[in-house]
Structure 1
Amino acid sequence: MSEKKGRVYLIGAGPGDAGLLTLKGKKLLGEAQVVIYDSLVNPQILKFCRPDAELLFAGKTMGQAHISQEEINELLISKAKEGKTVARLKGGDPFVFGRGGEEAEAIVQNGIDIEIVPGVSSVTAVPAYGGIPITHRQFNSSFAVFTGHHQGEDSDYDPAQIETLVFLMGLNNIESIMKKLLEMGKNPSTPVAVISSGTLPEQKSVVGTISDIAEKTRVLDVQTPATIVVGEVAVLAEAIGWYEKKPLFGKTMMVTREKEASSEFAELLGSCGAKTIEFPTIQIKPIRDTGEQLLSVRNLEDYDFLVFTSVNGVSNYFEVLASHGKDSRDLKGKKIIAIGEKTSEELLKYNLTTDYMPAVYTAEGIISLAEKLNLDGRKILIPRALVARELLPDTLRAMGATVEVLCVYETLVPDYTKEELDLMKMRLSDAEIDLVTFTSSSTVTNFFSLLGEDPELFAETGFACIGPVTAATLLGHGFTPVVTADIHTTRGLKEKILDFYLS
């Protein structure tokens, strides 16, 4: 029997923004058994890896290589020879100053199949996020790209013949680069733009000239990684620059939703320019195989209404049905009430259309809706969390309905190490976090359970709540929200946050 043959995918991760990873790169990351990644790879991209993938860091920390290039080559080869599918994930494009060519040669020389997936290069992407087109008919018809590491050495290029120069990895040598450009005939007033942490929420753009840009970057404490653009196109940064003008740019926001749902909300805030920190304060744990669930499934025909008060209630209930050989077809003829848009969208995944949805996405909203329905003598099932307010079932019973609450999941406090919690407290006390967002009462309660209620810790931090119930829970802990959404969805919360900062 022949030995299973491994292969290597050499994937460009793009310049920083996880949204700039190519579709093919994302697909192959989801297939790889081993992922070897560099320090410039956005950690958000690693979420696209399969859950059981072996993740190996091979970048630089504080300027020091974690492992040598030769060791990286050997690692790629050895993992592939074990018969594994290996993804080599490199910042930007692997073939643009990324030593991808050396790795590809080593892989091929060892008889291993390779596939190259180009990445969006910082050469074009970072200037674009800074508002700079590296070609423009009015300013240039050529550009050249250089690595900035060796600009103190002799070079045979003539910058006078190249209208736009792009330097990667050149910030630490910017003074010598500018000096050399002057020596080779460039005008001291030639515009220069330096874009630090391009395409990321930490991006900082500085515009000057060859004569003063080194001093400007020093005074403004511009940090690596940075891309340097020299040429007349750099003046367009101030006119076209768009990314740093986003309404939430420069703001850092904490997302406390459960891990499975936090990324979606983080992306919403990120689309407005915010830097997001995901700090889930709840963990969803399914409840299965209870006697109540078995009895409920057996008596499924008895229910007139099903009321869903959360997305998790929907997904977990249908998992319960599936475990007993049932699905949405067994709910034929029953009326479905969903608390809001997201819950209704989740029901569509199971081919169920919502019959009723309240105008206000709260238990109180469902109660207002129920008052218009004749529920006297009706039997209602509410699949929900183990711990929840009893207002809804109690009120529906008072209307004459028979109400059965079925617990299909519970919310727990996630496990964090002391070091992780201390780091989060330090970020809060150092005023690094502008706004903490809460999407349920349990996120509030667990947040303070994890971090305590010391007012000084949150002196420079605001709180935003998805609705009045969550806001009331926050008030119960002694803190007042600066934002409470009128429409009780994450999109509604995002819009209210925008209103708060724009006003």
Structure 2
Amino acid sequence: MKRLLFISVALLFNLLNLSAQSGKVYLVGAGPGDPDLITVKGAKALGKADVVLYDALANPSILIHCKGNVRLIPVGKRAGKPSPSQGEINQLLIDEAQKGNTVVRLKGGDPFVFGRGGEELLALLDKGIDTEVIPGVTAAIAAPAYAGIPVTHRGLARTFTLVTASTKDSNLTEAVKWKALVEQGGTIAFYMGVRVIPDICQQLIKSGMSPDTPAAIISKGTLPEQKAFRGAIKDFTADFTDYAKLTPGLLLVGDVVNVTENYQPSKDNNGMKVLSITLNRKVSELTPRLENEVALAFTIASKDPNKYTKEYLEMLKEVEFTHIVFSNTKSVEAYFKLCEEKGINVISPKATIITLGKKITDLLSTKGYNAITLGSYNEVASYLIGDKAKVMPSSVDAVTGASKKPKGK
């Protein structure tokens, strides 16, 4: 009897232990900056997450893929600013997973390219935690591509080398085998070294690289404000520019830099970020009318204050929507009640507010906001993107395609 009781207790303990470790961690690459460069699989993982630990370099717009009641924990590292240590981040991932949560560790670029993803994976595996790695687009490929520079090119570059110029544990001279790097040839991408670019170029020249070797500094890669400074390694001296202002950025060295000149990428959208505030609809009817002509079209349903955490609303504020659209007075009242309860207002002072009727505009006026009054979603879409707007009949729900019932019936 005692033996049976002992076995039962042991089984119960094992079940409880398994339950305590029933969560899962996804190590997800966010890509280099453009929020559209996250993979479909990465976006799906964010949509399942109870908790997200995210880097400073991860574009906040990516977090829109999360559930509204997600807990968002910033753990990003910025030079000179306090941030959790790697050990603390590892422990946070373990603790949240052992509570049974689905956890996403959202990392800039790719988790395993100078992102310490390997350290996090080892820490999680050591505790027996179910972990999945979802790769991301890395900056050394994406940023040059956005500048029209192929990192490999037939006849010019048969190799492509990634180097970290971060020198926390040793000086730059000792951190890299410079002669071997120069002898290898091909294309070289230096991560995390914008502030020491003159030193990098000097080391390359000292190690035998021609001072006329083409090079490019790519700042804020894949973002709308990306800039590429092309020249030769001899040009990037200490007085070339204030390098600190170019972070985040990378240095690309090799003949591929000159494959294209004066490349200007075509723009898929105009940079507008449009937020529709509805009462209880998950997707506004405005979204299908805009399609892919704006940088972001998003909807929040404001009726249920418990649907969104304060952290999620703070993230939405950080996105800095350029246009806010209210469709009825009830959504206005619900939205400002949500703001009051959560202590945060998503509307940026620079945002243009649009309404679908004078009553809504008048109500917003009592709350201290000026708004543009339009008559329909078709008019709003045309106002935002002109002839590119997709005009849809008012008798049909633009999201579902279902016929609307006439008002009053």
TM over 0.5: yes
* Structure 1 position 218, deviation (Å): 1.5
Moved more, 150-159 or 167-176: 150-159
CA pair 24-122 structure 1, distance change in 2 beyond 3 A: same
CA pair 412-18 structure 1, distance change in 2 beyond 3 A: same
Q: What count of residue pairs does the alignment treat as equivalent?
A: 335
In structure 1, the partner of 2:172 is 152
What are the Cα deviations for residues 325-360 of structure 1, in whole angstroms up to 9, with x where unaligned?
xxxxxxxxxxxxxxxxxxxxxxxxxxxxxxxxxxxx
Matched, 1:137 2:154: yes
Question: Which segments of 5 or more consecutive residues in structure 1 lack a partner in the other structure?
Answer: 287-384, 388-408, 454-462, 471-484, 499-503
SS at structure 2 position matched to 1:39: coil
Counterpart contact for 2:287–2:297, Cα < 8 Å: no
In structure 2, the partner of 1:178 is 201
Counterpart contact for 1:14–1:92, Cα < 8 Å: yes
Q: Which has the higher contact order (CA 8 A, sep 6+)?
A: 2
Distance in structure 1 (CA, Å) of the matches to 2:386 and 2:78: 38
Question: Which segments of 5 or more consecutive residues in structure 2 lack a partner in the other structure?
Answer: 1-11, 305-326, 390-409
In structure 2, the partner of 1:63 is 80
CA RMSD after TM alignment: 3.8
TM alignment of 1:362-381, pairs within 5 A? none
CA pair 449-189 structure 1, distance change in 2 beyond 3 A: farther
Counterpart contact for 1:18–1:44, Cα < 8 Å: yes
Q: Give the TM-score normalised by the residue count of structure 1.
A: 0.57
CA pair 104-422 structure 1, distance change in 2 beyond 3 A: closer
TM alignment of 1:227-246, pairs within 5 A? 227-242=250-265, 246=267
What are the Cα deviations for residues 10-58 of structure 1, in whole angstroms up to 9, with x where unaligned?
1111111221111111122222222111111111121212233222111
Q: Which residue identity lines up with residue 274 of structure 2 in the other structure?
A: V
* Structure 1 position 206, deviation (Å): 1.6
Matched, 1:72 2:89: yes
In structure 1, the partner of 2:127 is 110
What are the Cα deviations for residues 141-187 of structure 1, in whole angstroms up to 9, with x where unaligned?
11101012137232223323222110111111111111111111122
Distance in structure 1 (CA, Å) of the matches to 2:106 and 2:388: 35
Counterpart contact for 1:204–1:222, Cα < 8 Å: no
CA pair 167-266 structure 1, distance change in 2 beyond 3 A: farther
SS at structure 2 position matched to 1:206: strand
In structure 1, the partner of 2:323 is none
In structure 2, the partner of 1:16 is 33
In structure 2, the partner of 1:490 is 381
* Structure 1 position 192, deviation (Å): 1.3
Distance in structure 2 (CA, Å) of the matches to 1:47 and 1:159: 43
CA pair 175-466 structure 1, distance change in 2 beyond 3 A: farther
Counterpart contact for 2:26–2:105, Cα < 8 Å: yes
Counterpart contact for 1:76–1:86, Cα < 8 Å: yes
In structure 2, the partner of 1:191 is 214
Counterpart contact for 1:285–1:411, Cα < 8 Å: no
Counterpart contact for 2:29–2:136, Cα < 8 Å: yes
Distance in structure 2 (CA, Å) of the matches to 1:451 and 1:277: 25
In structure 2, the partner of 1:203 is 226
* Structure 1 position 137, deviation (Å): 0.6
CA pair 44-410 structure 1, distance change in 2 beyond 3 A: closer
Q: Percent identity?
A: 36
Larger CA Rg, structure 1 vs 2: 1
Q: Give the TM-score normalised by the residue count of structure 2.
A: 0.69
CA pair 117-211 structure 1, distance change in 2 beyond 3 A: same
SS at structure 1 position matched to 2:41: helix
